[in-house]
Structure 1
Amino acid sequence: MGEGRRETWTTEEFGTSHAGAVGVLLADGTVPGPVYFDSASGSGGEAVAQWSVYDGRSTRVSRAAALRAVCSCGWAGPEYRLDWDLIGKADLDAAAEDQADACERDWDEHTGHVEARAVPLPETVTMLLERLEEEIDRLTKTAPVAAVRAARRLEVACPVPQARAAPTSTGQRRCRIGEPAPTGSLCSSSTATPPTPTVSKTYSNKHAGKWNGRWSQDGTVC
């Protein structure tokens, strides 16, 4: 798996264990590596893996033949072929928006299946967690520092067991139990800002469009 900046999707519950993105396939069925953009300062290039940069309009940029949803767990969705006769000279991010949206829906369905297969929590635990979320949300508004401390106490009191995952046949690793929580989630203490209320999904650079050299979220090519 190569690395490059691109838009990713995560859920509050699964975090980076099931981070999704729009993946690219070339005409021969292979996955392209990231595209490197030269820095204006000359200090080094920028590696980008956003699907919309693969328009083949530069000698160093491959042309995408299909898009598909991919997940950090190794799952991949169905392929959506790109009709370049129809796309013509249009910007790929606009011309293939429907295919990219279909990829996101496929990933939504994938995470729904993952959640359905997850071990159910006892009702008493579910009620306690909901009450805890409500209290931390209240603290976030009235006493932000106390909210951060409460999240840290929760992290210390309820450590998540670690498990080493076996690699797949392609060399990609499977989901790892106890992946670091995404920034701003209930159990994250990696930032100085207080936790935010639980939401169903979080995004990085949603609908960012063409690469402009200013994205801040790192992603990986699956």
Structure 2
Amino acid sequence: MAGRETWTTEEFGTSHEGWVGVLLADGSVSGPVFFDSGSATAGQPMTQWSVYDGRSQHIPRAAALRAVCSCAWAGPEHHLDWALIGGEGLEEGGDEQASACERDWDGHTAQVEAGAIPLPESVLVLLERLEEEVERLAKTSPVAAVRAARRMEVAAGRAGYWAARGTRTDLTTTQAAAALGLDERAAVRLLARFGRWSPYS
């Protein structure tokens, strides 16, 4: 949805895209806000939590904030005290609650990572050391580091080919997605890219 700040991790991407969700006083989830023609954002839906300040009859006032993830997970509610917010404005007055939402989502992605298939410590150490070595190389010879990164891509493609095909044979799409910490669409695309088949096959 356009018009809101979101969070992602490098590994899980949009499979676990998070944002601050808004709840209204009756407990319902807020819909998008459309600004009038005098606004620079006229015609575009806005769902950024800080716009829900009840400034007009067309803009509802947030009662609570909570972290939301594209995987359908939602965090606990963090209630807003409008008596304390007063004229400060929601962006400033609700900053503490919004920050709490981001921490909640960080905890959620940590759980996703913990639930994904674990990697052997030896592999994790090698990957971390390889990344450090390439970063060190970039300080003295950036172009050599680019070549090294390219070789890493080639190696990943070779290693991933049979791994992807074996995964396709051994696991259902749902099982593979859970093991990878991805949604099913992202898992299909990833396996298809490594296995070199069409994601639509």
Q: Same fold judged by TM-score > 0.5? A: yes
Structure 2 counterpart of 1:12, from 10, 13, 17: 10
Alignment match, 1:201: none
Number of aligned pairs? 172
Which residue is equivalent to 2:187?
A: 177
CA–CA separation in structure 1 for the residues paired with 2:155 and 2:188:
14
What's the TM-score, normalizing by structure 1?
Answer: 0.63
Higher strand share: 1
- Residue 93 of structure 1 deviates from its aligned partner by 1.2
Partner of 2:120: 122
Instruction: Find the aligned partners of 1:105 and 1:94 in 2 and give their Cα distance.
Output: 18
Sort the Cα spacing of 1:62 and 1:4 in 2 relative to 1 into closer, same or farther, 3 A: farther
TM-score (norm 2): 0.68
Q: Cα distance, 1:84 vs. partner?
A: 2.4
One of 73, 85, 88 as aligned partner of 2:71: 73
Q: Which runs of 5+ in 1 are unaligned?
A: 166-172, 181-222
Change (3 A) 1:42 1:50: closer
RMSD between aligned residues: 3.3
Offset, 1:92: 0.4
Q: CA deviation at 1:38?
A: 6.0
More helix by share: 2
Identical aligned pairs, as a percentage? 63
Larger RCO (alpha carbons 8 Å, 6+ apart): 1
Larger Rg, first or second structure (1 or 2): 2
Question: In the alignment, which of 45, 48, 51 is matched to residue 49 of structure 2?
Answer: 51
Deviations for 1:197-218, whole angstroms, at most 9, x for unmatched residues?
A: xxxxxxxxxxxxxxxxxxxxxx
Equivalent of 1:36, from 31, 34, 37? 34
Distance 2:189 2:152 in 1: 16
**2:152 matched to 1:142?**
no
Question: What are structure 2's unaligned runs of at least 5 residues?
Answer: 175-181, 191-201
Sort the Cα spacing of 1:151 and 1:6 in 2 relative to 1 into closer, same or farther, 3 A: farther
What letter is aligned with 2:117? Answer: V
